[in-house]
């Protein structure tokens, strides 16, 4: 028995860091948005009981370090099955980009195995299990538009009243999320998002005001080190983006557009400069099963 799933990327329409907790984690407030850019995961039952990972890219480890492997092992232990799985990852989401590529793969594995191993778990059960793998995993399972608080695992859905086009552009290097948080001095944050306003604009479908209110406090850490981040933002704005910020801890920058033609032109221009540029759209659900 097998299943094929879309494992979708996310962007952050805003990120605020409110403080550091005793355990070293940061207390955040982020507005998360699923986008159409996705990896394809094919999962087949492995009668030997083993979990195997294969991918069409050498950019990710294909062994127990892969978060998809960790997700499968967690599910296997949780339900106490002797079944196994072959997992094949077709990577399209840039790696180490701030788009939760790994977390969304974990989300797809939990969703897929729940079906093919007939575990009978609810979406909430899967989300509770997912947080053990990473703070973004529960969001990636459910998807859509959400306010994420705590370490990113406390989710409140936001009722978005219109979709928009998104151009994402990743320069040719990756950034470690851990490093960015390590270098963040909360007392030095100069500009914070007004998260309530961001939510209000999303609910009212006021894309222009939303675009103008997007702020990511992690940008100042990543931008200081890599000037190309500011450069991409400028290019996005020059190409008629309504607003442009960095997603996650970077280095990917995205721009939002109401108009498809503008988004399409921006994609072509940015792609001529940075190969990993994609045109996509906001989506209302996370992991999607499309075969099986
Ligand atoms: P986030 O936005 O959640 O911080 P990210 O997009 O910045 O995530 P990922 O693409 O998830 O980062 O990759 C981070 C690291 O995880 C990389 O070093 C990568 O090698 C490793 N990794 C392990 N498994 C996967 C996977 N299935 N897909 C992508 N990266 C993986």
pLDDT digits (tens, 9 = 90+) for 58-105: 999 999 999 999 999 999 999 999 999 999 999 999 999 999 999 999
Whether pLDDT at 291 is above 80: no
- H or E element at residue 8: strand 2-20
pLDDT digits (tens, 9 = 90+) for 182-193: 999 999 999 999
pLDDT digits (tens, 9 = 90+) for 231-284: 999 999 999 999 999 999 999 999 999 999 999 999 999 999 999 999 999 999
Closest CA to 279 of 131, 260, 98: 260
Q: What is the pLDDT of residue 23?
A: 86
Whether pLDDT at 292 is above 70: no
Closest CA to 170 of 5, 55, 9, 7: 9
Does the beta carbon of 137 lie inside 6 Å of ligand 1? no
SS3 letters for 113-131?
Answer: HHHHCCCCCCHHHHHHHHC
Cβ atoms of residues 151 and 24 within 8 Å:
no
Q: For residue 196, what pLDDT band results from cuts at 50, 70 and 90?
A: very high
What beta strand segments (E) does 47-153 contain?
A: 51-55, 84-90, 145-150
Q: Is 10 a catalytic residue?
A: yes
Mean pLDDT calculated for residue range 168-176: 95
Does the beta carbon of 133 lie inside 6 Å of ligand 1? no
Q: What is the pLDDT of residue 1?
A: 77
Closest CA to 31 of 198, 205, 210, 150: 198
CATH 3.30.230.10 applies to domain 2-158 = yes
Above pLDDT 70, what percent of the chain?
Answer: 100
Q: Is 136 a catalytic residue?
A: yes
The single residue listed with the structure tokens 């952050």 is: 12
Q: How far apart are the first and last CA of the chain?
A: 8
Please report the sign of the dihedral spanned by the C-alpha atoms of residue 264, residue 266, residue 272, residue 275. Answer: negative
Lowest average pLDDT, out of 8-17, 28-37, 171-180, goes to 171-180
Which two structure tokens, joined as six digits, stand for 280? 């996509």
Catalytic residue among 4, 10, 142, 233: 10
93 CA → ligand 1 middle, Å: 10
Residue with CA at minimum distance from ligand 1 atom 24: 66
- Considering the segment(s) 165-281 as one domain, its CATH architecture is 2-Layer Sandwich (3.30)
Would you kindly state where each structural domain of the chain is located, as residue ranges? Answer: 2-158, 165-281
pLDDT digits (tens, 9 = 90+) for 121-145: 999 999 999 999 999 999 999 999 9
Q: How far apart are CA 87 and CA 3, in angstroms?
A: 10
Domains 2-158 and 165-281 share a fold: no
Instruction: Report the SS3 class of residue 67.
Output: helix
Whether the model pTM is above 0.85 = yes
């Amino acid at each position: 028995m097998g299943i094929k799933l879309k494992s979708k990327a996310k962007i952050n329409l805003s990120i605020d860091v409110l403080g550091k907790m005793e355990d070293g984690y940061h207390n955040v407030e982020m507005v998360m948005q699923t986008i159409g850019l996705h990896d394809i995961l094919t999962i087949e039952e492995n009668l030997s009981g083993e979990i195997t990972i294969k991918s069409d890219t050498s950019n990710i480890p294909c062994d127990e370090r892969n978060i998809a492997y960790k997700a499968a092992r967690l599910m296997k232990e949780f339900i106490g099955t002797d079944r196994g799985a072959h997992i094949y990852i077709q990577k399209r989401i840039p790696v180490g980009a701030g788009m939760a590529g790994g977390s969304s793969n974990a989300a797809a594995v939990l969703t897929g195995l729940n079906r093919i191993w007939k575990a009978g778990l609810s979406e909430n059960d899967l989300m509770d299990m997912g947080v053990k793998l990473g703070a973004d995993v529960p969001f990636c399972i459910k998807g859509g538009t959400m306010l994420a608080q705590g370490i990113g695992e406390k989710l409140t859905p936001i009722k978005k009243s219109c979709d928009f086009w998104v151009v994402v552009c990743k320069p040719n290097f990756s950034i470690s999320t851990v490093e960015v948080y390590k270098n963040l001095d909360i007392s030095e944050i100069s500009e914070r998002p007004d998260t309530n306003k961001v939510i209000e604009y999303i609910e009212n479908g006021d894309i222009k005001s939303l675009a103008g209110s997007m702020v990511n406090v992690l940008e100042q850490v990543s931008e200081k080190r890599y000037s190309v981040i500011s450069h991409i933002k400028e290019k996005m704005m020059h190409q008629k983006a309504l607003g442009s910020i960095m997603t996650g801890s970077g280095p990917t920058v995205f721009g939002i557009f109401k108009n498809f033609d503008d988004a399409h032109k921006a994609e072509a221009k940015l792609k001529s400069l940075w190969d990993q540029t994609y045109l996509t759209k906001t989506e209302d659900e996370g992991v999607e099963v499309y075969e099986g």
